[in-house]
Amino acid sequence: MKIEFKTLATLAGLLFLSLAMVWLAAPTLLLADWGVEFSEGIGLMGRRAAALYAGFGVMFLLSRSAGPSTARSALVRGLLVACLMLAALGLYELWGGHVTNKILVAVAIEIAFASACVLVNEDVDKSGPRVASITPIKKRRSK
């Protein structure tokens, strides 16, 4: 199965912007669903995370038409790492008894996005080398 980058970028962008709005306007919706009590500290971190979500959303929406490139590959791989880490953290918190089983909805979405990233990356990797090469730094001679 092949997934176009444009589809993934559009869905990711809309999801990130939606998360940003929820964390800014109504963070208790997610927290209550997960069985986490709201506090000022959680509110502070949620608002700060909302700024990151908004930025990621804009990046993905503006990159929808990008062709295969190192930058596009970096976006996809970054999303893959973030989704896998979020899914693992969700399971860890569930097993630790810190959240309710409703966190599994978020985990399923994160795994779906991670799977989509793998399918998009297969297409990008087949189009040629897209990872920036590392060139050794030449030693300067001291005078």
Residue 140 located in a structural domain:
no
pTM (2 d.p.): 0.81
Residue 142 located in a structural domain:
no
Phi-psi region of 129 (alpha: psi -120 to 50; beta: other; left: phi over 0): beta
Residue 130 located in a structural domain:
no
Q: What are the tokens at 29?
A: 């919706």
Residue 76 located in a structural domain:
yes
Q: Are 76 and 8 in contact (CB under 8 A)?
A: yes
Residue 27 located in a structural domain:
yes
Considering only CA atoms, which of 39, 14, 16 is closest in space to residue 27? 39
From first to last of its 143 residues, the chain has per-residue pLDDT tens of 789 999 999 999 999 999 999 999 999 999 999 999 999 999 999 999 999 999 999 999 999 999 999 999 999 999 999 999 999 999 999 999 999 999 999 999 999 999 999 999 554 445 554 444 455 566 666 65
Residue 30 located in a structural domain:
yes
Residue 139 located in a structural domain:
no
Residue 64: domain span:
5-125
Considering only CA atoms, which of 93, 121, 119 is closest in space to residue 106? 93
User: Per the structure, how many domains does the chain have?
Assistant: 1
Question: For the residues of 51-65, what is the DSSP string, one character each?
Answer: HHHHHHHHHHHHTTT
